C-alpha cells in the first residue's frame, strides 16, 4: 500500500481538503463462476420499467465518495468525466457524500441517478427498494470485471445484479515507522493496551473508526485471538460473540485518541498529535508518504476488513440511458487505473493493471490487488445467519454509539 505517490504535495492537500470522507463496508466474496455473467443477473429488467432506449438524455447525477468522480480540476491528468461528456453528451453532476448513511439518505430523496455505494449501504438500498436491478446485457464491459467480484453478495440479491463493481480496497493498519521498527503483526496494537517499540504505552496514541461497521474489525481480531468464541464470519455474530466484541471495544475506548471518520483529520493526528497506529485506507497512507511522513501500512496476521464499492441505479432514475453509458464507461481500463492511482484503491477490471497510470506508479501492486484473499469485505449484517439468528445492524448502530460515548 506504500506507493511513493508522484503527485506534488499541493495536489494532495487540495484533495485532502475536499475529502472529509468516512468510508466504506463489505466479506470474502465466493469465487464467482468463470467469466460468464449469471443468466439470472444478465436478464434482470429495470424494476422501474425504465425505457430501454439508448438515446442520451443529456444529464446524469451521481452520488459518490469524494475523489471518485474526477474532471481534472485538481490535476488535469486525472479526468475521466470530461471525455465521457464529450463522447456521450451526458453532462455529469456529482454530489459527494461523507458516509454510507448519507448516501442512503440522499438516494432516499430520489434526486440522483447513480450512487457509488459501499457494502454497508448497498444491501440497505436494495432492501429499501431505492435501487433497481441493472440489465447487464447493456453493459458489455461487465464481462471484463474481476471474476472475484462477479455476483458478489453485497450487490447481488436473488440472482439479480443491483449494480456493477467500481473499486475496492483493504482497510490497512497504518503505523509510524519511527515507533514500529518492524511492521506490526497483529491488530492487538489498536485493541489492547501494550508498550510499543519506543517503550511507551499505546494509550492515547491509537485511533478507532467512527462507524458501527467497525464492530466487524473487532470481530475479525477475536476470530483468531479467542477461537473458543467460534466466530466464523465477522458479519454474522451470535449474542454471546457480540457481547465479547462489545467488551473489547469498551476496553479500546480507554486507549483511543479519537474515533476518526474524516481522512484529513486522521492524517493531521498522525502528523501533529502523536497518533502512531490506526486502521486506515490506502489514500491516507499514500498521501502521508507523499508528505514525507514516517508512515507505512500492513495487513496483520488476522487479515482485514475492506470495502468494495458498487455503482447502483436509482429505482426511479430520470436519466437511464446516460446512466448505462456511465456504467459501461466506468469499467474502461484507463479510467480504472487512473482512479486506482488517484484514490489509493484497486481496479475492478484486471486489464487496468496492464495500463500505465497517469503518475506511472504500479498502483495495482501498491494498493493491494493481490491481497484480496485477506479481506473480509464490508456488508450490512441482516440479522439472519447461516446458523440461525444473529445480531442485526440496527443493534450495531445503537451499541457502537454507546461505546463511543463511554457506555
Q: Give the domain 9-169+306-377 fold.
A: D-Maltodextrin-Binding Protein; domain 2 (3.40.190)
- Grid coordinates given for 394: 440496527
Neighbours of 340 (CB within 10 A): 28
- What pLDDT score was predicted for residue 52? 59
Distance between CA 233 and CA 379 in Å, rounded? 11
Distance between CA 139 and CA 129 in Å, rounded? 22
Give first-to-last CA distance, the chain, whole Å: 35
Neighbours of 235 (CB within 10 A): 28
Give the 3-state secondary structure of residue 244: helix
Q: Which residues of the chain register pLDDT less than 50?
A: 1-51
159 Cα distance to chain centroid:
23
171-304+381-404 CATH choice from 3.40.50.1370, 3.30.430.20, 3.40.190.10, 3.40.50.720 = 3.40.190.10
Where in the chain do CATH 3.40.190.10 domains reside? 9-169+306-377, 171-304+381-404
Amino acid at each position: 500500500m506504500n506507493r511513493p505517490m508522484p503527485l506534488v504535495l499541493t495536489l494532495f492537500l487540495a484533495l485532502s481538503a475536499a475529502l472529509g470522507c468516512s468510508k466504506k463496508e463489505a466479506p470474502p466474496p465466493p469465487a464467482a463462476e468463470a467469466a460468464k455473467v449469471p443468466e439470472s443477473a444478465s436478464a434482470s429488467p429495470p424494476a422501474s420499467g425504465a425505457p430501454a432506449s439508448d438515446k442520451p438524455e443529456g444529464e446524469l447525477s451521481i452520488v459518490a465518495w469524494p475523489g471518485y468522480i474526477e474532471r481534472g480540476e485538481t490535476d488535469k491528468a486525472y479526468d475521466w468525466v470530461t471525455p465521457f461528456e464529450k463522447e456521450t453528451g451526458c453532462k455529469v453532476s456529482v454530489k459527494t457524500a461523507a458516509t454510507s448513511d448519507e448516501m442512503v439518505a440522499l438516494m432516499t430523496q430520489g434526486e440522483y441517478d447513480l450512487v457509488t455505494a459501499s457494502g454497508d449501504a448497498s444491501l440497505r438500498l436494495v432492501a429499501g427498494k431505492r435501487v433497481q436491478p441493472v440489465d447487464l446485457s447493456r453493459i458489455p464491459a461487465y464481462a471484463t470485471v474481476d471474476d472475484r467480484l462477479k455476483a458478489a453478495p453485497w450487490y447481488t440479491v436473488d440472482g439479480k445484479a443491483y449494480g456493477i463493481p467500481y473499486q475496492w480496497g483493504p482497510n490497512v493498519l497504518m503505523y509510524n515507522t519511527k515507533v514500529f521498527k518492524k511492521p506490526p503483526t497483529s491488530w492487538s496494537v489498536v485493541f489492547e493496551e501494550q508498550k510499543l517499540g519506543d517503550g511507551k504505552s499505546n494509550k492515547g496514541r491509537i485511533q478507532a473508526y467512527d462507524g458501527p461497521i467497525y464492530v466487524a474489525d473487532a470481530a475479525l481480531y477475536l476470530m483468531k485471538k479467542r477461537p473458543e468464541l467460534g466466530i466464523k464470519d465477522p458479519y454474522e455474530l451470535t449474542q454471546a460473540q457480540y457481547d465479547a466484541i462489545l467488551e473489547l471495544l469498551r476496553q479500546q475506548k480507554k486507549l483511543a485518541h479519537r474515533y476518526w471518520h474524516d481522512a484529513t483529520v486522521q492524517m493531521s493526528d498522525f502528523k501533529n498529535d502523536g497518533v502512531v497506529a490506526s486502521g486506515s485506507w490506502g489514500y491516507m497512507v499514500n498521501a502521508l508518504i507523499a508528505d514525507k511522513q514516517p508512515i507505512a501500512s500492513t495487513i496483520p496476521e488476522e487479515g482485514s476488513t475492506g470495502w468494495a464499492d458498487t455503482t447502483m441505479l436509482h429505482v426511479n432514475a430520470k436519466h437511464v440511458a446516460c446512466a448505462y453509458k456511465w456504467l459501461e464507461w466506468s469499467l474502461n481500463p484507463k479510467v480504472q487505473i487512473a482512479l486506482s492511482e488517484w484514490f489509493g484503491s484497486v481496479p475492478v477490471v484486471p486489464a487496468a493493471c496492464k495500463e500505465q497510470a497517469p503518475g506511472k506508479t504500479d498502483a495495482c501492486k501498491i494498493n493491494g490487488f493481490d491481497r484480496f484473499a485477506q479481506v473480509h469485505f464490508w456488508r450490512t449484517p441482516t440479522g439472519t445467519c447461516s446458523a440461525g439468528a444473529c445480531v442485526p445492524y440496527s443493534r450495531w448502530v445503537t451499541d457502537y454509539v454507546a461505546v463511543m460515548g463511554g457506555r
